[in-house]
Each structure stands twice: as structure tokens, then as C-alpha cells.
Amino acid sequence: MKDKKKILVIGATGMLGSALTGKLKDMPAELHLASWPVKTDGTFLLDITNPDAVEEAFNRIRPDVVYNCSAYTDVDGAEKNVEQAILVNSTAVSLLAQYCYNYKSLLVHISTDYVFDGKGNTPYMPDDKPSPRTAYGKSKLMGENAILESQCEFLIIRTAWLFGPYGKNFVETIINLASTRDEIKVVNDQIGCPTYTFELANAMIELAGNGSRGIYHFSNQPACSWYDFACEIVAAAGLSCKVNPCKTEDFPRPAQRPAYSVLDISKTVEALKHPVGLWKDSLRDYISKRN
């Protein structure tokens, strides 16, 4: 009988990493879970910016598949901490890709809609030219390019507007605000697709397993504004707070937000051979589980 696949999940305790780990635990695989900076039950510590630690992990595990769910994800913070964003999202990713090449491991890496400029008005295709406008987006694109250059076997999945348990996310922010206020304002001139971590995790496993390689896009459907999303969150959570639409300029942020962040997922749908779920259904699932 063939040995079980050895799978290394990096960033296993982050929002996406937790969802992915939950799914992989049900599968017949030898699972190695790496977390940083806090070690939890069943994980070992791995700082991907520490080359000795990365070398030790690859030597010891010799993984067949590496899922990289770790990242510097503070979009506003990256504008000031450019070096740290580049270190985690690019330099460290380059090192992971080199080890994946050396050890013949498949690298499944997550990237973002922020690699695009957000000025479009039709969904971005995986091979559209990236043109990031934020330090975070630039660091993530550098990470993608490092993977392409490494010649390792890779699957890069760009996603957007993630929500799920074990992380800071828009759903929690809106529920917290709407629980304590009578009215809130939410921008309605930024368009994107909310994405449930569990659905992305399923897609990651399926695409990795069915031989899909290269760059793919994944998000739930259909597109909406943050305002539309907030209205659904308040309704699904059974709250009575009034949600008012406002403009991006009413909420200035250090990093410029893309006005249009919709990713074309048709290549992914074809590879998965089934439709991708609606974010409204995912939202109800998430809210029912958190209650």
C-alpha cells in the first residue's frame, strides 16, 4: 500500500489555516501543522522568515504538499511596515518555493485580489496583468513572482474578502458594531465577492488533488458592495441596527482600497466541475455555527 501523503500546513492557526486544517484532518494524510507565533495543541512553531527553521522543517518532514496559509495580512500596517510585509509575503515565500523545488513538493499558496489595481469594471482573469497599488498588494505579487521563478510545482489561488472562524473579519466587525449601535455607515462604492474560508479550503484541496497547477481565482458569488454584505450580516444575525451607505472618501485609510475587486472564477469552476457556492448561504452557515 502506498504511504500516506505528507502534508505541511503553514499558518495553520490563522483564519484560513484553521479551516483548511479542519478539512485535512478528515483525510488519510500525514498532517504536519505549523503555527507562528503561538504554538497550539498539535502544532509546531515555524517562523517562515527564519531560514534555519524552514530548512529543519523540510528536512524532517519531506512534505509531498505544502499549503502556505501564512502571510503578513495587515493591509494598512503594510504601508508603514513595508520591510516586514516583503519579508513574510515575498522573501520567505521565495525560500519556501526553493525548498519545494528541491524536495519536489507541491506548493499551494494563497494570494489576493490586491495584486490588481481595482480600477476595472469586469472580473479580473488569472492571466490579467497585475498592478498593485498598496504595499500589501505589491508584497503579495512579489511572492507570486518568486514562486513562478522558482520552477517548483505550484498552485497559486487568489482570493478576496475572506470570512470564517478564528480571525479578524468583516462579519465579526459588523456584528460587534451593530450589536452596540442603532445605526452604522458602510461603504457602497467598493465591489467584491465575500469568500468563506471553508469553501476556499475545499477548493484548495480539490484543485491540489486533481492536478490543477498555475494561477487560479476563488471567491464565493455573486459580487456585492461592503454595504450589501453588511445589510445581509445584520439581517442574518437578527440585529435591528440600521445600515446606511456611504462613500470610500468618508473612511480614509492608510492603504487605498480597490473600488472593483471581482475575480473571474470560471477557470476554477471548470477545474472543480461543480458550481461555487453563494456567499449568502455561507454567511448563514457561519452565523448559525457561531451562535
Ligand X SMILES: NC(=O)c1ccc[n+]([C@@H]2O[C@H](COP(=O)([O-])OP(=O)(O)OC[C@H]3O[C@@H](n4cnc5c(N)ncnc54)[C@H](OP(=O)(O)O)[C@@H]3O)[C@@H](O)[C@H]2O)c1
**Site residues for ligand X per CB under 6 A:** 11, 13-16, 36-37, 46-49, 69-73, 88, 110, 112, 140, 159-162, 167
Q: Which is nearer to ligand X, 115 or 231 (CB)?
A: 115
Q: Please pick, among 67, 114, 124, 136, the residue that the annotation labels catalytic.
A: 136
Half-sphere exposure of 138 (CA within 13 A, CB side): 15
Contact 267, 216 (CB under 8 A): yes
C-alpha span between 116 and 276 (Å, rounded): 22
CA angle at 118 for the pair 112 and 120, rounded to the nearest 5°: 125
Q: Which is nearer to ligand X, 73 or 134 (CB)?
A: 73
Q: Which is nearer to ligand X, 197 or 212 (CB)?
A: 197
Please tell me whether residue 108 adopts helix, strand or coil conformation.
strand
C-alpha span between 99 and 66 (Å, rounded): 10
Q: Which is nearer to ligand X, 132 or 182 (CB)?
A: 132
Give which of 170, 115, 167 is closest to 139, Cα–Cα: 115
Half-sphere exposure of 14 (CA within 13 A, CB side): 21
Taking the complex as a whole, the smallest distance from the CB of residue 94 to ligand X amounts, in Å, to: 13
Taking the complex as a whole, the smallest distance from the CB of residue 70 to ligand X amounts, in Å, to: 3
Taking the complex as a whole, the smallest distance from the CB of residue 158 to ligand X amounts, in Å, to: 7
Residue nearest to ligand X (CB): 14
H or E segment and range at residue 235: helix 226-236
Could you tell me if residue 194 is left (phi over 0), alpha (psi between -120 and 50 degrees) or otherwise beta?
beta
Taking the complex as a whole, the smallest distance from the CB of residue 84 to ligand X amounts, in Å, to: 9
Kindly state the cell numbers that stand for 101.
523545488
Q: Which is nearer to ligand X, 33 or 177 (CB)?
A: 33
Whether residue 99 lies in the annotated active site: no
- Whose cell is 498588494? That residue is 137
Taking the complex as a whole, the smallest distance from the CB of residue 182 to ligand X amounts, in Å, to: 28
- Whose cell is 527564519? That residue is 50
- Whose cell is 492608510? That residue is 254
Catalytic residue positions, numbered: 136
